[in-house]
A and B are shown apart, each in its own frame.
Chain A
Amino acid sequence: MQPFGLSILRALGAAALALGLAMPLAARAQQAPANTLDAVRGRGHLICGVNTGLAGFAQPDSQGNWRGFDVDYCRAVAAAIFGDATKVRFVPTTPQVRFTALQSGEVDVLSRNTTWTLSRDTSLGLDFAATNFYDGQGFIVRASAGVKAAKELDGATICVQPGTTTEQNLAEWARANRVRFTPVVIETLAEVTAAYLAGRCDSYTTDVSGLAALRAAQSKPEDHLILPEVISKEPLALTVRQGDARFADITRWVHFLLLSAEEFGITQGNVDQMLNDPRPEVQRMLGKTGGLGPMLGLPENWGVAVLKAVGNYGEVFERNLVPIGIQRGPNALWTTGGLQYSPPFR
C-alpha cells in the first residue's frame, strides 16, 4: 500500500507524460501538406516572419516601414507570386515563437536569420529552402590592444552571451587551440556590448555580422578590429513548412534568381534592357523563353517582377548590409571566390 500523496504524484506524472506525447502528434497533424501557394494566392498576400529588430536584416525605420536584407527576401517572394512586392505582411517573431509561428501556419515563410542545423531540419517539421547569408562567429578587440589573430587572445577576458551556441563554440574552439580565457557571461545584447565597450573584457564574441554592426555604430570604428578568424558556421537560411515542396522550390529559386541576376549583370535598373539580351540563360531567367516560371507555378515574367522590386543579390546586400559595415566575405559570388552559387536556369 503506497501513501496517498505518492499515488497522486504518479497520476500527475502519467498525465503530464500523456500530454507530452500528444503534443508532437498535434504538431504533426498541422503539417499536412496543405498547398501554401494556393493559400497565399487566395489570401492575396504573403505573410513573412521576420526578426523583431536586427540591424541590417530586419528593422522598422522611423516611419514604421520594414527594411533590411531578410525583409527584401520577403518582398522578392511576394513579387514572384503576385508580381507586386507590396503584397506582403511582416510578422515580427521572437526566437522562441518563430518555429511555432511557421508550423501553425501563422506565417508562410521565415526570413529571420535562422541557422540551418541538422536537428532543426529533421525534428521541427520545417525545411530550410536556401542559405541566403553565410555567417560565422568571430571576435572583436580594441585596436589599441595590438591583437592581430584570435590565437593571441590567450589569457584574455572575453564577453559572451549565455545560452547560445556562441558560448559553446567559444569553449570548444578554446579547448582545441589551447587558448585560456576568462569568460564574462552577460545575458542581454545591450549589456554585453556595453561591457565590452566599457573595457570590462578584452574581446567580445558573437556572429561576425553582429560584430560588424557593433563596430559601425561606434563614433570611431577604426578603434575596433574584427579578427580574421571565424570559428563556427552559421548558415542563415530561409525556412518553410515541411511537406510543401512546391513552395520550398519557389523560395529557393527566388534566392537563386537573385544570385544569377548578379552573375549575369542584371540589376534593378537595367531589367528592361536585359529583356533584349541575347544570352539564353538571361532570356530564360527573365521569362522570354523556356517557360521556367510556370514550372514553379508562377507567371512567366516572375523574374522581371522580382528584380524590379529588390534588384539582384549584390544590390540587396549593398543596400542593407554594407552600410552597417558587413563585407561580402563568404557571401561573394562563386565567381569571385565566395560561397554563393546558383544552379543553372534551364
Chain B
Amino acid sequence: MSDITLNAATAAPEAAPRTPPASQIGLLAWVRANLFSGWLSTLVTLALAYLILRWVVGFVEWGIINAVWSVPNSQTQACRDMKGIGACWAVVTEKHRFILFGTYPYEEHWRPALCILLFIGLYIVSAMRRFWRSGLAFLWAGVLAVIGVLMWGGVLGLPYVPQERWGGLVITLILATFGLAFAFPLAILVALGRRSKLPAIKAICVLYVELIRGVPLISLLFMASVMFPLFLPEGMNIDKLLRAQIAIILFAGAYLAEVVRGGLQALPKGQYEAADALGLNYWQKTGFIILPQALRLVIPPLVNTFIGFFKDTSLVLIIGIFDLLTAGKTAIIEPAWQGFGIEVYITVGAIYFVFCFAMSKYSQGLEAELNRHRRR
C-alpha cells in the first residue's frame, strides 16, 4: 500500500490543485457573466448604472448634503429657500412626536412610546420558537392589558386619556395587532366550519366569508362608523376605535379563513384517514395532525395577508382616526410646514417598511425552518 502511495506522489507531481483562471471565478467572472455577456447586455448595464448612480448621487445631495435638519421656532424660510435642492428634515424634527403619538397629551408621550416598545418586544418574543408554549398566550393577555392601562390611564396615578386623543404609530400597531390576533383564531374556526359536515355551521361560515369578502374594507368601516351608531339607542355610543377595530377583525377574519381553508384542502386525504384510523376524535385530529401541517403550507399567503392588513389599517383615516399615515398627513397642514410632504411621506413610508420587511424576512426564515423535512 505504502509504495503505491509513494509511486503516486512521485508519478504525478503536477497534480497539485490549480485554481481556475481569474476570468472564470469570483466577482470578476460573475460581473462578466451577468452584466457584460454581450454588447446588448453591456449597453443596458451601462445605461442602468448611469441612471442608478445619478439617482443615488441626487438623492444623497438632496437628502443629506443640502438638507436642512432643524429650524428655530417653525421659521421655515430656510427650508423654502432650499426647496428642490435640499430636503427639509426639519419638518420631521419638529413633527416627529405628532407623527408617532398624534394628539396624545404631550407630557404623557412616554406612555404610548412605552406601548410601542412593548408591542415590538411582544412581536420579538412571539417570533422565537423556544417561547412557543401555552405561557405565551398569558404573556399576550398580560402585555395587552398593560398596554390598555398605559394608554387609558386613570389608575395608578396615571391621568385618564380619552380614546379620541390616541394617535400615530401606536394606533396603527393597536389596530394591526388586535386585528390579527383576534382574526386569526376566528379564521381557523371559520375555515374548519366551512369544511364541516353540519349544514347549518357550514352555511353560516360560507355566508360570513362571502358577505364580508364581497364588500371593500372601506365600506365596512363606513358602516361601522356611519350606519351602526344610528341603530343604537340614544345616549349609547360604542367607541369609534372599537367599532373600527371590530370591522377590521371581521374583514381580516374572512380573508385569513380562505387562506387557512386553502391549506386544509391542500393536505392529502390520507392524513385525515390516518388520523381517523388512530382513533383520534375531531379536535385531536384537527389540533395534532391537520392544522400543524395545513398552517405550515400557507405561511406565505398568511404573511402576505398580514402585511396587507398592517397597511390597510391606514384606511381608518376616512372615519377620522389619526393613525400613522393620517398623523403624517395632518402634520403638514399647518401653513408653516405646507409643501414638505415628501419628507414626511418618506419617513412614514420608512416606518411601514421596517415593520413589513421584518414580517416578510421572518416568514421566509420560518418557512425554511418548518419545511426543512421536505428538502431531504
Contact = CB atoms under 8 A, between A and B. Distances in A.
Interface of A: 23, 26-27, 29-30, 32, 34, 39, 52-56, 59-66, 89-94, 96-97, 100-101, 103-106, 190, 213, 216-217, 219, 323-324
Given A65-B106, A104-B237, A26 B230 contact: yes
A89 B94 CA distance: 25
B86 to A, nearest CB: 14
Contacts of A213: 335, 338
A94 B98 CA distance: 19
A297 to B, nearest CB: 19
B320 A52 contact: yes
Contact of B334 (A23, A59, A89, A92): A59
Contacts of A23: 227, 230
A96 B222 contact: yes
A182 to B, nearest CB: 26
Given A91-B164, A97-B319, A105-B234, A61 B225 contact: no
A60 B106 contact: no
Interface stretch (B4-12, B134-142, B325-333): B325-333
Contacts of B74: 62
Nearest to A197: B339
B95 A62 contact: yes
Contacts of A92: 164, 320-322
B39 interface: no
21 contacts: A26-B230, A53-B329, A56-B335, A59-B330, A59-B333, A60-B102, A60-B330, A62-B97, A64-B103, A90-B103, A91-B240, A96-B318, A104-B229, A105-B229, A106-B229, A190-B341, A213-B338, A216-B335, A217-B335, A219-B83, A323-B335
B230 A30 contact: yes
A89 B160 CA distance: 13
B242 interface: no
B364 to A, nearest CB: 36
A247 B230 CA distance: 21
A32 to B, nearest CB: 6
A324 B237 contact: no
A63 B235 contact: no
B320 A91 contact: yes
B330 A66 contact: no
A32 B233 CA distance: 11
Nearest to A50: B320
Given A39-B235, A62-B94, A219-B80, A53 B240 contact: no
A219 B106 contact: no
B330 A53 contact: yes
Which 8 pairs across A and B sit closest by C-beta, in order of nearness? A104-B229, A217-B338, A219-B80, A64-B103, A92-B320, A63-B106, A53-B330, A53-B333
Contact of A66 (B101, B103, B104, B227): B103
Contacts of A52: 317, 320, 322, 326, 330
A94 B230 contact: no
Contact of A34 (B77, B94, B235, B321): B235
Nearest to B336: A217
Contacts of A104: 229-230, 232, 237
Nearest to B164: A91
B103 A60 contact: yes
Interface in B33-68: none
Given A23-B230, A62-B97, 17 more contacts: A30-B234, A53-B333, A54-B333, A55-B335, A63-B98, A64-B102, A64-B105, A66-B103, A89-B165, A92-B164, A92-B320, A97-B222, A97-B320, A100-B230, A103-B230, A217-B335, A219-B80
Nearest to B320: A92
Contacts of A30: 230, 234
Interface string B301-324: 000000000000000011111100
A26 to B, nearest CB: 5
B338 A55 contact: yes
B121 interface: no
Contacts of B322: 52, 92
B335 A100 contact: no
Contacts of A56: 335
Nearest to B95: A62
Nearest to A219: B80
B167 A64 contact: yes
Contacts of B335: 55-56, 213, 216-217, 323-324
Nearest to B231: A26
Nearest to B236: A105
B232 to A, nearest CB: 7
A29 B229 CA distance: 12
A60 B103 CA distance: 7
B339 A100 contact: no
Contacts of B94: 62
B240 A106 contact: yes
Contacts of B234: 29-30, 32, 34, 105
A216 to B, nearest CB: 5
A76 to B, nearest CB: 20
A210 to B, nearest CB: 12
Contact of A93 (B320, B333, B339): B320
A217 B234 CA distance: 44
